[in-house]
Amino acid sequence: MNYVISNRLSAYAISINLAGRQRMLTQRMAKAVLLADTEIGQPKQLALKELAETIRLFERTLLAFYQGGTTLDGDYKPITLSASNESNIQALILPALIMWKDLKPDVDMLLTWRDKPLTTTQLRHVRNRLVAANRELLQKMDAMTSTLEQAAIANATQLRLYQRLFLIIAFINFIIIFTRLRSNIRHSIQNNATMRAIFNSIDSCILLYDKTGLIISANQAAIVLFGELKFDSTYIHDVLLSSELQMMGVTSSGHRFKAKVNHFQVVQDDQVINICTVQDVSEQHDKEQTLTRLAFHDALTGLPNRLLFYERLEHDLLHAKRNQHLLAVLFLDLDGFKQINDSLGHETGDQVLKMVAERLRSCCREDDTVARLGGDEFTMILASVQAMHNIDLVANVILKELGKGYVLNNQNLVISVSIGIALYPNDHIDASVLIKLADAAMYKAKMAGKNNYCKASELSYSVPP
């Protein structure tokens, strides 16, 4: 059952990450087509190339979700998805496929841009179609991500209920056997040996102790787990340590492990027998911790991903409201990273992203948050801002730190960053609107020449809620 739970959670974690990436790809399509419309020459060709790659990956992953198949994971390695057999998830994917099929003729024009260059009129027609569909596709991808998260929680809960049920049945079976054997001990010494054989054949670790806590018996599984037990001087609290967070088992050699413990009592001939079952869950706990980290952190940089960023932003907004503090949301997009990635390869690009993540961590305080949304897009939450000039100070520090050279393989690489800033409560009080405003401000900073920052208050329009 532990194996089934781990595999199910692992599959859901992969699906959740890919569903989140679909949302990022939807945004990247709109961004790339807008750049392709505004840029000329080589930047326009690069934007069209990025747009074509993004469309192929989005369509391939969407089809894999619906009918099963192979797509690419976060490291651009092939990964196989099974078709979802859950009706609520299929109900979300099917409308997205229908919408995508409607966009397919325009999309196919983009995929053949090398052989058949698009006219300005054609490109703007495609741009208008993709931008118009962007919001609805974003909503569907968000809904699919949330539905997958809920399904993962519900599935894990159901499996754990089955796990507990199996354990209870096993314990009831053991208690029945133990009670019957104990009643027969008085009649035959041979029955005692039989009970001991059955007792030792049970795979679960079982300890018997009296009302003082002195361990009076243990099966073979307990001896294997704890080592030698002295039944005249070893108490239950010597081998099991209780804490607020986790029950710990202690072996005879002093080694500690995470334990799952259950206690039962059996009354036989007015004598109370305490039964304790112990299971070493260290490996399962570590797997669950790893899966949790995979679900809420970016695999490449170790930074919080989009899901954890939104969760922390909501929490920090409540804290800022309660304490009447300012809060800033920063949206960062690297300038010049695409050229490094295309010319030197993804491995070099990944190393640059890791170095950028480390520099961003050094630019903020411990209670601030740095997250990677995907690609070369990062976000920051500056919690509990005391004064407006502190935001300008942080933004300038980021521009300076990220603008320093990156030495990789004896090459000095140079990139910069464009930053958009939205402020709570001055610009808005809603988390999603603050992010949209910061994103829009970032685009203005990029259009103004890159390697600078722009505040949402400087925009000539506001993003509707």
pLDDT in tens, 19-76: 777 778 877 777 777 776 666 667 777 777 877 788 888 888 888 887 888 888 767 7
pLDDT given for residue 63 in this prediction: 83
β-pairing verdict for 271-280 and 326-335: unpaired
* Assessment of whether the complete model's pTM goes beyond 0.85: no
pLDDT given for residue 137 in this prediction: 79
**Region for 221 from its dihedrals, namely left if φ exceeds 0, alpha if ψ lies in -120 to 50, beta otherwise:** alpha
Interhelix angle 306-323/282-296, rounded to 10 degrees, is 80
pLDDT given for residue 12 in this prediction: 72
Q: Which residues contact 24 (CB under 8 A, 6 or more apart)?
A: 306, 373, 374, 375, 377
425: preceding bond cis by omega (within 30 degrees): yes
DSSP state of 255: -
At residue 74's C-alpha, the angle toward residues 150 and 292, to 5°, is 40
pLDDT given for residue 97 in this prediction: 82
**Region for 116 from its dihedrals, namely left if φ exceeds 0, alpha if ψ lies in -120 to 50, beta otherwise:** beta
Q: Map tokens 């050229």 to a residue.
A: 339
The 10s digit of each residue's pLDDT in 242-292 is: 766 678 888 877 888 888 888 878 776 677 788 888 888 777 766 766 676
Residues of the chain with confidence (pLDDT) below 70 = 1-2, 5-6, 9, 36-41, 74, 85, 110-118, 181, 183-201, 203, 231, 243-245, 268-269, 285-286, 288-290, 292, 461-465
Nearest Cα residue to 38 out of 52, 53, 48, 28: 48
Say how far apart CA 58 and CA 55 lie, in whole Å. Answer: 5
pLDDT given for residue 236 in this prediction: 84
